[in-house]
Structure formats: structure tokens, C-alpha cells
């Protein structure tokens, strides 16, 4: 069988750790399969999905997109700052990414509360089953992303990543970008397209 | 790096707002589908190439993630066509 | 062996192998009962033989896990075990309790045992794999808690490595989820729902953490590859295991009265459960290929690689075969399930415990590796048992396909028992493979007693 080497080629390098990228690819596969199942089920019954979609708060979800994008942006800035040995700046940008996650989580919880308050559950119909599950599953990933960002922030305070050793930071920010990328597909899929 | 980065960031924000308004502007469903496909694809590609930095990563990784985006969006496009 | 107290692992390993022999014996008896329904009746009815076969498996694997923990944790934590005395005491408690349970299964009718053991007060018996009488269940909890106390105290005072943290997380999970065996609601749907929290969340959840940690430990030792590299893989594998495995529980909820959405989430997530197993295979081969030294214990390396491959085939591929709801609608509870169960348990958990025994036992007996002759014999036993298990799985799969066809898909479906008559050829072949497996096991046991051949000038 073929063997995988953990060293990257000298010119082109993997951002962060290869093991994390395997994890990211596996996560993308999970979400990809879920999205396509949504698409196929919706294809079978467009009327049900269009009706369900009119009850969603697309504006609120757009805010959440902006939060995740902003968090991704500050994550890029954090990695750059740490690479240029500007640890204070890097630290602030990591906090900003974490804070954008907090905004996402609070906003999303309010949205969930609104739907559950109206009596929608996983058993309501296929649309709500998919909507609630997909967004909740993604929601858990945002929380995991925040945990990873927080862990890197703590390690930064402890004096890791000196001498521009940014692999650990890039490992964390790569995960965050993955969570963002998934949401970028999920947002138009459940809220916008008809 | 800085200028390019802020352009990308601004683009992501602008495309999100455009996508949000698209259902009101584009009443024909096929136009809406095309509009959302283009905005989503562009946003995803910015995240992959620039934010994740896969433009500078080995090809297998870059094209696996890019391939994921195209495959998922392509399949979804067929489902909604 | 770096620490004296690691020696407590030895009796655990010996007991594990002893009970393994018992398990295979009852497997052979049951294989014959598939062919002659009244074989050994009424002394050992089929339901009793099945109970002994499955319960012995679980108990000997638990012995193996505990032995592995007692061996690994001091070495990882770089200190002696908190209390070797407690470990020895718990060994005897667990062994006597386990033996008493099996004897009581065989000696008295199950209903009588239930009456005696206070099942009327707290009803927990009568459920597949959790048949143990109340006192045994309480005993398991006590032994598990004392064991966890012992190794947790060792770990807290010593070096904390990723491998030992994953191991202890898995072991705590094992104990916590076993508590659901005491929860037995009257509502049959809820009963089954939580029953799977023990069964599924063990074998497709926390046990996989134990498996990953044990495999990683042995690979660190025999390949000399940097711990950092191995630990990264371990984290990725367990993260993927938990993501797919926890929601994957849903593949047991298809037809038992739970909400319909489980057919979606159970299908999708369990279909992805092979991924961590595949990563484990790649991981094992990758580490062995990148080895920094030639460890003299070739047999342990073989078992480690075998675990990677066979767990992927048995748990991953054979699980996937019947995990999608539309497929499972037909295959549920057929011989296909039995095929999957056999190869998954052997490939994942039996083999990882033997990997650990194969690596640790020579060290516990004061040498780095066994003599060449002993290792050759052990490798023979590896191939005999593994190939026999592949054939058992293939024959059961064939039986399962025929069963599903005749009994469930055909336009003129046959009754259950009429169908069984049509499967006899496969049951014969399976029993024959089982005998080969038993021969492999006997060779395995003999390999422990082979001495180095004296050379001419010695």
C-alpha cells in the first residue's frame, strides 16, 4: 500500500498539521454527504421545503455568516501577526475570532429558541428534520472551533510559537476556516435557495 | 498582503449581503440558482485559496478541498435545477 | 518491564486467554447446535450456550483491557502503580465473580437464577449481553471503580501523555455507560433505546478509544517513531470515531419504535464509521514503514498490523454492508449481523488485546521477545485464527444473503425454520472453520511454553 509522509515538500507546504487536514477532509466528507442528502430529499418534495423555508429568519442567519467570515479574517491576521513575532497583536486577533464565535452561538441559540418555541421539532417534517439537525450539527462545530482557538490562545500566553513557529496556530485556524466554509454552503442552501 | 486581504474580506461580506437580497431581486428560480451558485462558489474559493492558504499548499490538498466545493455545489445545483 | 508493579498485568492476561478458550469451546458447541438442535440438550440449551459465548467474550476482553491498562499506565506515567495490592485483589474478585456467573448460567435454569439473585427487586436481567445477575453487575461496577481509582491515581501523580489520557478516557467511558445496564424501563422502546447506550457506545464509541490507545502504545514501542507523530494520529482517529460513532448509534434505532429521523442520521453517520478504522489501518502501516528500529518481537508487529486490517474489514466494511436503513430493512437480525459481529469483535478487540499480550508478555517474563521458534508458532496461530475468522465471516455472510432472499425478499417467503434448513451447508462450513480457529488458538497457547532450542555449543 502507499505510504503517507508527514513532511511536506519544501516549496509548497501544508498549513498546519497534516493530521488536522485529514480530520478536516473527513469533516468535509460528513457535511458533503449531509448536504447532498438534503438536496435529494428536497428534490423529491420541493413544495414542502419551500413552505418550511418561509418560516426561517434569513436576516439573522446572514448576520451569522458575517460573524464567521469576520472570525476567519481575524484568524488569518492572527497567524500572520504571530509569524511576524507580533504576539500581542496575534493574541488580540485570536480573541476577536473567539468573540465572533460567541456572537454566532448567541445569535444561533436565539434562532433555535424561536423555532422550538413555535413548536417545530425534528419530527415535524423532513424539512425541519434536516434544518434543525444540519444547523445544530454545524453549531457544535463552531463550539469545537472556539475550543481549539482558545487552546491556541492559552498556549500563546504560555510562550509557545516563539521564533515564528506558526504551525500550531495554522492548525487551529484551518479548522476554523473549515467551519466557515461549511457554513458558506449551508447558509444559501437552507435559507435562500428556492 | 494587507490590501489583497481586505479586498477578499470585503468581497466575502458584500457577496453575503448580495446573496441575502438575491431572492427578492431574482424572481425567476433559475436566475436565483445561478446567482447563489456564483456567490457561494466565489466565497468558498476565497476561503480555500486565500484564508486557508491552500493556494500555496501541495496540489493534492488544494484540489481535494476545491473538488469538494465544486462537487457538492454541482450536485446541489442538479437537485435544485 | 520498567516498573515492578507492571507485573500485576500478568494474571489478567493469563485469565483473559483462559476465558478466551472457554468462549471458543462454547462457540463450537453452538455451531453444532445450529446443525443438530438438540445437541447437549437439556444440559446446555442453545440460549445458555449463546449467553456463555458472548459473556465470556466481554469478560475476557475486560480482563485484557485491565491488564493492558496496568501494564501501560505505569510506563506512560513513569511511576509505580498506585496500589499493586488492590490490583491483585480486584483480579481475584473479578475472576471469582465471573466464574460464579458462568457456573450459575450452566447449573440452574435462567429463570431460577433471576429469582434467586433478586431480579424481582431491581430487574436488569434477560437482555442480550447484559444477562448477568444483579450481584455480578454490581460486582463489575465495584471492580471497575476500584480499577479506575487505582490507575487514575497513578496517572494523576505521574507524566500525562496523550496515549494514557485517551486510554483512561475510554476506560471511564466504559464504566459510565455500563451504568445504563441498571436502567430498565417498562416501555420496551425505551428499554432498547438505552440498552444500546451500553452495547453500541461501548463497541463503537469508548472501546475504540481504548483500542486506539493500546495500538498507539505498542506502535510507539516497536517502531520507535516519534511519540508526537503517533499522538497526532491518535487524536484525529478518536475525534473521527466520536463524531461518527455517537450519532451512528442511530443505526440501531431504525425499527424499534423511535422517531423516523433516526433512519437518516443513523444511516449517514454510521456509513462514515469505517473512516476512523481506515485511518487506523493507514496509521499502523505508516508507522511500521517509518520504523526507526527493528524490534525483535516480530509477532507483536504482525498482530498490530493485523488489528489495523481486520478491524477495518470486520467493523468497517462488514458494518457498512448492512448499516443503511433501506438495506437493513431486509438484513436486520439475519446471519449477516452474525458475520459482522464475529469479524468486528475478532478484528478490533480480540486482536488488539492479543497485540498487547504479545508485546507485553515476553517482557513480563523477563525478556524483550520470545525465542524465534515461539514467535514462528505464534505467527502460525495468527494466520490460522485470522484466516479461519475470514472464512467464518464469509460463510455466515453467504448464509445471511440466502436467508434474506428466501425468508424476506422472495415472492413466496419461507418460514424462519424452513429457511434455516436451507442454510445447513454454510453452517457446516462455518463449524469447520471454527475448528480451524480452535486449532490456531491451541497453537497460540502452546507458543507460550516453547523454550529456546539449545544450541550445540551451549
CA pair distance C345, C341, nearest whole angstrom: 6
Q: Is the Cβ of B79 closer than 8 Å to some Cβ of chain A? A: yes
Nearest to A23 among C236, C264, C272 (CB): C236
Quick one: which of A116, A137, A2 has its CA closest to A55? A116
CA pair distance C304, C288, nearest whole angstrom: 9
Which residues, at least 6 apart from A158, have a Cβ–Cβ distance to it below 8 Å?
Answer: none
Q: Is the Cβ of A40 closer than 8 Å to some Cβ of chain B? A: yes
Q: Is the Cβ of B52 closer than 8 Å to some Cβ of chain A? A: yes
CA pair distance C202, C198, nearest whole angstrom: 6
Chains with 3 or more CB pairs under 8 A to chain A: B, C
Cell of B33: 440558482
Q: Is the Cβ of A33 closer than 8 Å to some Cβ of chain B? A: no
Query: In chain A, what are the domains?
Result: 18-192 (1.20.120.80)
The string of pLDDT tens digits covering residues A130-187 is: 999 999 999 999 999 999 999 999 999 998 888 778 889 999 999 999 999 999 999 9
- Please report the pLDDT score of residue C298 as a whole number: 96
Q: Using an 8 Å CB-CB cutoff, list chain C residues near A6.
A: 229
- DSSP character string of C191-243: HHHHHHHHHHHIIIIIHHHHHHHHHHHHHHHHH---HHHHHHHHHHHHHHHHH
Mean pLDDT, rounded, of chain A = 92
3-class DSSP string for C325-337: HHHHHHHCCCHHH
Which residues, at least 6 apart from C23, have a Cβ–Cβ distance to it below 8 Å?
Answer: C52, C53, C56, C57, C60
- Judge whether residue A75 has pLDDT over 90: yes
ipTM of the complex: 0.95
Q: Is the Cβ of B63 closer than 8 Å to some Cβ of chain A? A: no
The per-type count for chain A, helices as H runs and strands as E runs, is 6, 0
Which residues, at least 6 apart from A154, have a Cβ–Cβ distance to it below 8 Å?
Answer: none
Contact B56 A66 (CB under 8 A): no
Cis peptide upstream of residue C42 (ω within 30 degrees of 0): yes
Cell of B46: 476565497
Q: Is the Cβ of B7 closer than 8 Å to some Cβ of chain A? A: no
- Residue C422 burial by Cβ neighbours in a 10 Å radius (0-12, 13-18, 19+): middle
Chains with 3 or more CB pairs under 8 A to chain C: A
Quick one: which of A187, C217, C8 has its CA closest to B16? A187
Q: Is the Cβ of A23 closer than 8 Å to some Cβ of chain B? A: no
- Residue C455 burial by Cβ neighbours in a 10 Å radius (0-12, 13-18, 19+): exposed
The string of pLDDT tens digits covering residues A22-65 is: 889 999 999 999 999 999 999 999 999 999 999 999 999 999 99
- Please report the pLDDT score of residue C457 as a whole number: 52
Three-state DSSP class for residue A28: helix
Determine contact, residues C385/C302, Cβ cutoff 8 Å.
no
Full pLDDT tens readout for chain C, 458 residues: 899 999 999 999 999 999 999 999 999 999 999 999 999 999 999 999 999 999 999 999 999 999 999 999 999 999 999 999 999 999 999 999 999 999 999 999 999 999 999 999 999 999 999 999 999 999 999 999 999 999 999 999 999 999 999 999 999 999 999 999 999 999 999 999 999 999 999 999 999 999 999 999 999 999 999 998 898 889 889 989 998 999 999 999 999 999 999 999 999 999 999 999 999 999 999 999 999 999 999 999 999 999 999 999 999 999 999 999 999 999 999 999 999 999 999 999 999 999 999 999 999 999 999 999 999 999 999 999 999 999 999 999 999 999 999 999 999 999 999 999 999 999 999 999 999 999 999 999 999 999 877 655 54
Question: What average pLDDT does this structure show over A80-107?
Answer: 96
Contact C275 A26 (CB under 8 A): yes
Q: Is the Cβ of A109 closer than 8 Å to some Cβ of chain B? A: no
Could you tell me where the DSSP H helices lie in C78-124? 84-107, 110-116
Per the structure, the count of domains in chain B is 1
pLDDT band at A194 (very low <50, low <70, confident <90, very high): confident
Q: Using an 8 Å CB-CB cutoff, list chain A residues near B54.
A: 15
Angle, alpha carbons B53-B56-B60 (nearest 5°): 100
CA pair distance C259, C265, nearest whole angstrom: 11
A135-174 per-residue burial string, b: 16 or more CB within 10 A, e: under 16: bebbbebbeebbebbbebbeebeeeebeeeebebbbbbbb
CA pair distance C427, C31, nearest whole angstrom: 7
Three-state DSSP class for residue B47: helix
Quick one: which of C317, C321, C343, C342 has its CA closest to C330? C321
Residues listed for chain B: 81
Q: Is the Cβ of A27 closer than 8 Å to some Cβ of chain C? A: yes
Q: Using an 8 Å CB-CB cutoff, list chain C residues near A145.
A: none
Q: What are phi and psi of C53, to 5 degrees?
A: -60, -50
CA pair distance B40, B16, nearest whole angstrom: 8
Q: Is the Cβ of A3 closer than 8 Å to some Cβ of chain C? A: yes
Mind telling me how many Å the CA of A133 is from chain C's nearest CA? 9
Q: How far is CA C350 from CA A44, B22, C342, C347, in A?
A: 45, 57, 10, 6
Which residues, at least 6 apart from C295, have a Cβ–Cβ distance to it below 8 Å?
Answer: C221, C222, C223, C224, C301, C369
Q: Using an 8 Å CB-CB cutoff, list chain B residues near A36.
A: 72, 75-76, 79
- Please report the pLDDT score of residue A8 as a whole number: 43
Contact A37 C259 (CB under 8 A): no
Determine contact, residues C196/C129, Cβ cutoff 8 Å.
no
Which residues, at least 6 apart from A91, have a Cβ–Cβ distance to it below 8 Å?
Answer: A78, A153, A156, A157
Q: Using an 8 Å CB-CB cutoff, list chain B residues near A14.
A: 57-58, 61
Q: Do chains B and C touch (3 or more CB pairs under 8 A)?
A: no
Q: Is the Cβ of A180 closer than 8 Å to some Cβ of chain B? A: yes
Q: Do chains B and A touch (3 or more CB pairs under 8 A)?
A: yes
Residue of A nearest to C237 (CA): A23
Quick one: which of C382, C244, C387 has its CA closest to C319? C244
Nearest to A30 among C272, C279, C290 (CB): C272
- Give the best residue of B5, B14, B20, B64 to mutate against chain A (max A CB count within 10 A): B20
* Domain, as residue range, for B23: 2-80
Q: Using an 8 Å CB-CB cutoff, list chain A residues near B13.
A: 66, 69
Which residues, at least 6 apart from C391, have a Cβ–Cβ distance to it below 8 Å?
Answer: C429, C430, C433, C436
Amino acid at each position: 500500500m502507499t505510504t503517507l509522509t508527514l513532511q511536506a515538500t519544501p516549496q509548497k507546504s501544508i498549513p498546519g498539521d497534516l493530521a488536522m487536514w485529514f480530520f478536516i477532509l473527513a469533516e468535509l466528507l460528513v457535511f458533503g454527504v449531509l448536504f447532498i442528502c438534503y438536496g435529494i430529499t428536497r428534490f423529491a418534495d420541493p413544495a414542502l421545503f419551500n413552505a418550511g423555508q418561509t418560516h426561517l429568519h434569513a436576516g439573522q442567519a446572514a448576520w451569522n455568516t458575517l460573524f464567521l467570515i469576520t472570525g476567519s479574517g481575524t484568524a488569518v491576521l492572527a497567524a500572520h501577526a504571530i509569524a511576524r513575532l507580533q504576539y500581542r497583536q496575534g493574541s488580540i486577533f485570536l480573541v476577536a475570532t473567539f468573540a465572533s464565535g460567541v456572537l454566532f452561538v448567541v445569535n444561533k441559540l436565539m434562532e433555535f429558541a424561536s423555532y422550538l418555541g413555535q413548536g417545530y421539532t425534528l419530527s415535524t417534517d423532513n424539512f425541519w428534520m434536516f434544518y434543525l439537525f444540519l444547523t445544530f450539527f454545524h453549531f457544535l462545530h463552531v463550539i469545537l472551533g472556539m475550543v481549539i482557538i482558545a487552546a491556541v490562545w492559552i498556549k500563546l500566553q504560555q510562550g509557545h510559537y516563539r521564533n515564528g513557529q506558526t504551525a500550531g496556530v495554522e492548525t487551529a485556524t484551518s479548522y476554523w476556516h473549515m467551519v466557515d466554509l461549511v457554513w458558506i454552503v449551508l447558509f444559501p442552501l437552507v435559507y435562500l435557495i428556492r | 498582503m494587507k490590501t489583497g486581504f481586505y479586498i477578499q474580506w470585503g468581497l466575502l461580506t458584500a457577496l453575503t449581503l448580495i446573496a441575502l437580497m438575491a431572492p427578492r431581486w431574482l424572481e425567476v428560480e433559475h436566475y436565483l440558482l445561478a446567482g447563489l451558485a456564483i456567490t457561494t462558489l466565489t466565497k468558498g474559493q476565497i476561503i480555500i485559496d486565500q484564508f486557508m492558504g491552500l493556494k500555496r499548499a501541495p496540489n493534492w490538498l488544494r484540489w481535494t478541498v476545491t473538488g469538494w466545493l465544486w462537487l457538492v455545489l454541482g450536485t446541489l445545483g442538479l437537485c435544485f435545477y | 518491564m520498567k516498573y515492578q508493579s507492571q507485573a500485576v498485568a500478568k494474571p489478567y492476561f493469563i485469565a483473559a486467554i483462559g476465558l478466551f478458550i472457554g468462549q471458543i469451546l462454547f462457540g463450537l458447541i453452538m455451531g453444532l447446535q445450529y446443525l443438530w438442535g438438540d445437541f447437549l440438550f437439556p444440559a446446555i440449551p442453545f440460549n445458555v450456550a449463546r449467553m456463555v459465548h458472548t459473556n465470556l467474550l466481554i469478560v475476557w476482553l475486560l480482563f485484557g483491557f485491565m491488564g493492558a491498562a496496568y501494564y501501560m499506565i505505569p510506563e506512560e506515567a513513569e511511576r509505580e502503580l498506585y496500589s499493586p495490592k488492590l490490583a491483585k485483589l480486584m483480579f481475584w474478585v473479578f475472576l471469582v465473580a465471573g466464574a460464579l456467573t458462568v457456573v450459575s448460567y450452566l447449573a440452574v435454569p435462567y429463570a431460577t437464577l433471576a429469582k434467586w439473585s433478586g431480579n424481582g427487586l431491581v430487574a436488569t436481567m434477560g437482555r442480550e449481553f447484559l444477562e448477568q445477575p444483579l450481584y455480578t453487575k454490581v460486582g463489575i461496577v465495584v471492580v471497575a471503580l476500584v480499577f479506575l481509582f487505582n490507575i487514575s491515581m497513578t496517572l494523576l501523580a505521574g507524566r500525562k501523555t496523550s496515549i494514557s489520557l485517551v486510554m483512561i478516557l475510554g476506560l471511564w467511558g466504559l464504566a459510565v455507560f455500563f451504568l445504563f445496564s441498571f436502567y430498565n424501563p417498562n416501555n420496551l422502546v425505551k428499554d432498547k433505546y438505552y440498552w444500546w447506550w451500553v452495547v453500541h457506545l461501548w463497541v463503537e464509541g469508548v472501546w475504540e478509544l481504548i483500542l486506539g490507545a493500546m495500538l498507539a502504545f505498542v506502535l510507539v514501542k516497536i517502531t520507535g517513531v516519534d511519540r508526537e507523530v503517533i499522538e497526532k494520529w491518535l487524536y484525529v482517529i478518536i475525534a473521527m470515531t466520536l463524531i461518527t460513532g455517537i450519532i451512528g448509534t442511530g443505526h440501531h434505532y431504525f425499527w424499534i419504535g423511535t422517531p423516523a429521523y433516526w433512519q437518516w442520521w443513523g444511516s449517514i453517520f454510521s456509513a462514515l464509521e469505517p473512516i476512523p478504522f481506515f485511518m487506523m489501518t493507514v496509521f499502523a502501516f505508516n508507522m511500521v514503514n517509518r520504523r526507526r528500529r527493528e524490534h525483535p518481537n516480530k509477532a507483536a508487529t504482525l498482530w498490530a498490523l493485523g488489528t489495523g486490517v481486520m478491524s477495518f474489514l470486520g467493523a468497517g466494511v462488514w458494518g457498512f454492508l448492512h448499516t443503511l436503513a433501506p438495506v437493513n430493512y431486509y438484513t436486520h437480525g439475519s446471519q449477516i449481523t452474525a458475520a459482522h459481529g464475529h469479524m468486528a469483535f475478532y478484528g478490533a478487540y480480540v486482536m488488539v488485546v492479543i497485540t498487547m499480550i504479545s508485546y507485553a508478555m515476553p517482557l513480563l517474563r523477563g525478556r524483550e521477545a520470545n525465542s524465534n521458534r515461539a514467535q514462528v508458532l505464534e505467527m502460525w496461530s495468527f494466520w490460522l485464527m485470522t484466516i479461519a475468522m475470514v472464512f467464518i465471516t464469509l460463510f455466515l455472510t453467504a448464509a445471511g444473503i440466502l436467508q434474506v432472499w428466501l425468508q424476506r425478499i422472495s415472492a413466496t417467503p419461507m418460514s424462519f425454520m424452513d429457511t434455516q434448513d436451507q442454510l445447513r451447508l454454510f453452517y457446516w462450513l462455518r463449524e469447520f472453520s471454527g475448528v480451524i480457529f480452535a486449532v490456531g488458538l491451541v497453537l497460540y497457547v502452546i507458543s507460550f511454553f516453547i523454550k529456546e532450542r539449545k544450541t550445540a555449543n551451549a
